[in-house]
Homo-oligomer: A and B are copies of this chain.
Amino acid sequence: MSKQVVIVGAGLSGTTAASYLTQAGVPVKLFEALDRVGGRTYTVPPPENCSGPVDHGAGYVGSTQTAVKALLQELNVETHEVPGDGFLYTLSWGGNVYYMKNVLPDLFKYLAWYESVAICLAIIDMYWKGMSINTEEPWNSRNADEWDNMTVQNWIDTKFPGSKFSNARTIFQFVCRIPLGVEASETSFLYFLWYFKCGSGFYDLLFPAQDRIVVGGTQQLSEKINATLPKESQAQLKTPVLAMDNNDSSKVVITPAGSSQIEAERCILAMTPHTRDYIAFNPLLSPMYHQLPQRTPMGTTIKIHLFYKEKFWLVDKNLNGNATIFDGDSISQTYDCTAPGGTPCLQAFYVGKVGRRMAMMDRKAREADAKKTIGKIFGEKANDSIGYSEFIWDNHPWIGGAPTGTCAPGTLTCYGNAVRAPTGRIHFASTETAYEWTGYMDGAIRAGHRAASEVLKELGKPEPKPLPPVPVEQMRKDDVDKLKLVVNFTSQSVQKWKIQISNLNVASNAAVAQNATTKEAQQFLATQFQNSSEELKDYIKENKMQADDLITGLKMLQESVSNPNMLAA
């Protein structure tokens, strides 16, 4: 048994690793603290008199998440499109509700021209900064120290100075809060950029990451993988690992709760990083590894499901059920997640700071709050729900939050390497260790595959065949197309104000030559805006750097479209 490998955690990452190892003939022991496999995929039955499974955890599959798509195919699990285009989306901010055909162009219609411009500039800035991130080693990115010493909020404050941009600020705070469950003021800007780069850019992460649900729920992926394992390698439930002893450097001695010690050649910890601290290592891991778990707080996510007799949002108002609530209400987002043939169901999220407050209230208060908000945006029939289900991830005994372990300033540059790099005979999986679609099911699968590959290499066994790559080129092309769209929308929005910003697209203009200084760029902008209102002139004056950014951004954008090599980070 000397070549046995122990895996701790039977979520998607741990079961994936177990699968690759056992396929290569390696004996595996898989331990799981919970009474089920699946980790952050967690499927429960619907409330009484309702049908369709409820995904309390990971629920969506995006079009560029090729690892999870391949796994779904391999396991013969179907997906089902979330209602989207063709119906109306809902956006709500500042106490007002807006219904729109396409979120991005239409959103600009409701913002002042200067906020549209500022948002356009910020998206371009975020995109280009994100593209410079080294995803495998973000701490080795060009501006790593500078950006890891900043919060996302610091960046937002730079892009949206003064009091004129409160909507823009709200939107970008939302852009941090929604995928991570933590506030912009709590999050390292480097980590934020890295997360988005791993998830294929600004736009793709917020939208197509959520385009299909898994028929039958997502937990079945881990269950099915677990079922294919040799019986002796299947997950031992309710068995947390208490200790790992590596004093004899030729092996690791594992102490699972309630059963006898076993020896392993190597171990894979497939757990969210803050829980590594639950294991007593002897000798201790090195200081960097020992302090990391204190520094990867989970986000706050409460996911609720409300069931209805009919899709009243669709029937009454032609709404697709997808609402984005930037501020003013406690709920941040809703989706129509009705299972094929199942009871009509709306899903809603409480996240971040407001989520923390809601988590301390009682269940009835949350249900009432959710119905009130859903009623306001979708109609009064929100009150006629026939079933309610909720899960507070912050209170999960072993995971303690969702969707992912995040990084405050200083963590990635000081402790980042300890997230994934093996130490001694210990390897690491979990979606946090992925550098493609980290925080998602796709990342969990890639992390399990990568950790298994590391171990197989050490054991002198052939590594498994690679996973389908993330379609990077296509994704970058899509990003640029979307950026161009944003620029066009901004341009239209500004034209509405009779301002000739569209001329900015003439990137060949002498004033925006590669070496244009900030001053030249300002002059160029001033020329473009010569017929503009006083307000615009003030804006240019107050936002010198931003005006320069816009020109630089537009120029780089145009160049990169004609020269794909520029797209490489």
* Residue positions of A touching B, CB distance < 8 A: 148-151, 153-154, 182-183, 185-186, 274, 277-278, 280, 284, 286-288, 290-291, 294-298, 300, 353, 356, 359-360, 392, 394-395, 397, 400-401, 408-411, 414-415
Q: For A149, what are the chain B residues with a Cβ–Cβ distance below 8 Å? A: 153, 183, 185
Interface centre among A182, A287, A297 (most CB of B within 10 A): A287
New A-B pairs, 11, CB < 8 Å, besides A185-B410, A288-B360: A149-B153, A151-B409, A278-B278, A286-B359, A287-B300, A287-B392, A290-B394, A291-B300, A291-B394, A291-B401, A295-B297
Q: Which residue of B lies closest to A291 (CB)?
A: B394
23 sample A-B contacts, Cβ–Cβ < 8 Å, listed by A number: A182-B410, A185-B410, A274-B277, A278-B278, A280-B397, A284-B397, A286-B360, A286-B395, A287-B360, A287-B395, A288-B356, A290-B400, A291-B297, A291-B356, A291-B394, A291-B401, A294-B294, A294-B296, A294-B400, A294-B401, A353-B410, A356-B415, A408-B408
Q: For A392, what are the chain B residues with a Cβ–Cβ distance below 8 Å? A: 287
- Nearest CB in chain B: distance from A313 CB, A: 30
Q: Which residue of B lies closest to A395 (CB)?
A: B287
Bound together, the chains give a CA A409 to CA B290 distance in angstroms of 22
Q: Which residue of B lies closest to A415 (CB)?
A: B356
Count the copies.
Answer: 2
> Contact check: which of B284, B356, B395, B409 meets A414 at CB < 8 Å?
B356
> Contact check: which of B148, B182, B185, B274 meets A150 at CB < 8 Å?
B185
Q: For A411, what are the chain B residues with a Cβ–Cβ distance below 8 Å? A: 186
The answer to whether B297 touches A294 (Cβ under 8 A) is yes
Q: For A284, what are the chain B residues with a Cβ–Cβ distance below 8 Å? A: 395, 397
Bound together, the chains give a CA A195 to CA B295 distance in angstroms of 20
The answer to whether A294 touches B280 (Cβ under 8 A) is no
> Contact check: which of B277, B353, B400 meets A278 at CB < 8 Å?
B277
Q: For A287, what are the chain B residues with a Cβ–Cβ distance below 8 Å? A: 300, 356, 359-360, 392, 394-395
The answer to whether A409 touches B280 (Cβ under 8 A) is no
Interface centre among A280, A291, A296, A414 (most CB of B within 10 A): A291
Bound together, the chains give a CA A200 to CA B479 distance in angstroms of 53
The answer to whether B290 touches A395 (Cβ under 8 A) is yes
Q: For A151, what are the chain B residues with a Cβ–Cβ distance below 8 Å? A: 151, 154, 409
Q: For A150, what are the chain B residues with a Cβ–Cβ distance below 8 Å? A: 185
Q: For A148, what are the chain B residues with a Cβ–Cβ distance below 8 Å? A: 185
Bound together, the chains give a CA A294 to CA B288 distance in angstroms of 16
The answer to whether A183 touches B297 (Cβ under 8 A) is no
Q: Which residue of B lies closest to A184 (CB)?
A: B149
- Nearest CB in chain B: distance from A432 CB, A: 13
Which 8 residue pairs of A and B lie closest in terms of their CB atoms, listed nearest first?
A149-B185, A287-B394, A287-B359, A186-B410, A408-B408, A294-B297, A287-B395, A295-B297
Q: For A409, what are the chain B residues with a Cβ–Cβ distance below 8 Å? A: 151, 153, 185-186, 408
The answer to whether A291 touches B400 (Cβ under 8 A) is yes
Bound together, the chains give a CA A90 to CA B286 distance in angstroms of 33
Q: For A353, what are the chain B residues with a Cβ–Cβ distance below 8 Å? A: 410, 414
Q: For A400, what are the chain B residues with a Cβ–Cβ distance below 8 Å? A: 277, 290-291, 294
- Nearest CB in chain B: distance from A33 CB, A: 10
> Contact check: which of B274, B356, B397 meets A294 at CB < 8 Å?
B274
Q: For A415, what are the chain B residues with a Cβ–Cβ distance below 8 Å? A: 356
Bound together, the chains give a CA A212 to CA B81 distance in angstroms of 70
Q: For A296, what are the chain B residues with a Cβ–Cβ distance below 8 Å? A: 294
**A298-B294 contact given A151-B151, A409-B185, A414-B356, CB 8 Å threshold:** yes
Bound together, the chains give a CA A107 to CA B185 distance in angstroms of 34
The answer to whether A183 touches B359 (Cβ under 8 A) is no
> Contact check: which of B154, B280, B395, B408 meets A186 at CB < 8 Å?
B408
Bound together, the chains give a CA A182 to CA B392 distance in angstroms of 31
Q: For A401, what are the chain B residues with a Cβ–Cβ distance below 8 Å? A: 291, 294
Q: For A360, what are the chain B residues with a Cβ–Cβ distance below 8 Å? A: 286-288
Q: For A359, what are the chain B residues with a Cβ–Cβ distance below 8 Å? A: 286-288
Bound together, the chains give a CA A186 to CA B286 distance in angstroms of 21
Q: Which residue of B lies closest to A242 (CB)?
A: B242
Q: For A414, what are the chain B residues with a Cβ–Cβ distance below 8 Å? A: 353, 356
Q: For A186, what are the chain B residues with a Cβ–Cβ distance below 8 Å? A: 408-411
Q: Which residue of B lies closest to A272 (CB)?
A: B294
The answer to whether B288 touches A298 (Cβ under 8 A) is no
Bound together, the chains give a CA A409 to CA B410 distance in angstroms of 12
**A183-B356 contact given A298-B294, A400-B291, A401-B294, CB 8 Å threshold:** no
Interface centre among A153, A280, A294, A411 (most CB of B within 10 A): A294
Q: For A280, what are the chain B residues with a Cβ–Cβ distance below 8 Å? A: 397
Interface centre among A148, A149, A296 (most CB of B within 10 A): A149
- Nearest CB in chain B: distance from A510 CB, A: 32
- Nearest CB in chain B: distance from A319 CB, A: 31
Q: For A395, what are the chain B residues with a Cβ–Cβ distance below 8 Å? A: 284, 286-287, 290
